[in-house]
């Protein structure tokens, strides 16, 4: 089996939201929000390692950007990335975490970054390029609009820029490439046949 490289567009055009789109993006958001809860615990365990050089903690950011990239790539409609990321952040907040409801602000900024990337390409390009661009913009907004001022107020500017560099790397690799690979893996299970990634898999069958 091979998978076509020709991206499929959302049924009915980008703005034609269906009930199944809303339900699916909500399910993805909840599932990834629960995963966040587990990742929060892992992050806590790794905190002493990051404390050696505090800006390095931004290497973990990419995991929290995944819902926006995955939701956007699966549904391929305006708002899907933001919707999925905000639901995941809400679930994370309700389950409890070390940042409290501040994660809702992060969820909004992260989802917005991916939305901007997809809007720039007019919801027509669904290759790994848009996934990486989304991860980069989500990381950029999260650091420069929020974390520099709330979580890193005592960092020097060299430390803030280093944190941004680590965040961009994590956003590109974990959220961008990782999210794109995760969507392809889900498509191979047959779970996404009602969505463009599933149609791409079917179109690529020998």
Residues in the chain: 206
- Residue numbers of the chain with a pLDDT score lower than 70: 1-6, 205-206
Predicted pLDDT of residue 1:
36
Predicted pLDDT of residue 6:
65
Predicted pLDDT of residue 2:
43
Token pair listed for 181? 């690979």
Token pair listed for 90? 């809400």
Predicted pLDDT of residue 34:
96
Predicted pLDDT of residue 68:
97
Task: Supply the DSSP symbol for 143.
Answer: I
Predicted pLDDT of residue 200:
86
Token pair listed for 27? 């399910």
The pTM (predicted TM-score) of the whole model is 0.92
Measure Cα distances from 70 to 2, 111, 117, 184 in Å. Answer: 21, 11, 13, 10
Residue 24 half-sphere exposure toward CB, CA atoms < 13 A: 21
Tell me how far apart the 2 most distant CA atoms of the chain are, in Å: 57
Residue 37 contacts residue 93 (beta carbons within 8 Å)? no
Where do the structural domains in the chain lie, given as residue ranges? 19-195
């Amino acid at each position: 089996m091979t998978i076509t490289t020709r991206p499929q567009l959302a049924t009915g055009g980008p703005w034609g939201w269906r009930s199944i789109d809303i339900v699916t993006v909500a399910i993805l958001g909840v599932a990834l929000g629960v995963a966040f809860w587990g990742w929060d615990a892992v992050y806590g365990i790794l905190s002493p390692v990051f404390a050696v050089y505090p800006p390095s903690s931004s290497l973990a950011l990419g995991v929290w950007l995944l819902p926006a990239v995955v939701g956007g790539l699966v549904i391929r409609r305006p708002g899907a990335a933001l919707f999925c990321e905000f639901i995941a952040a809400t679930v994370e907040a309700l389950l409890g975490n070390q940042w409290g409801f501040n994660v809702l602000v992060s969820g909004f900024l992260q989802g917005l970054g991916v939305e901007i990337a997809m809007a720039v390409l007019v919801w027509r390009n669904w290759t790994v390029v848009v996934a990486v661009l989304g991860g980069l913009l989500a990381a950029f907004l999260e650091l420069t609009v929020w974390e520099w001022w709330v979580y890193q107020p005592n960092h020097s500017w060299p430390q803030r820029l280093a944190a941004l560099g680590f965040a961009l790397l994590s956003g590109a690799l974990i959220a961008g490439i990782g999210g794109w690979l995760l969507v392809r893996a889900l498509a191979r299970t047959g779970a996404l046949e009602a969505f463009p990634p599933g149609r791409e898999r079917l179109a690529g069958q020998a």
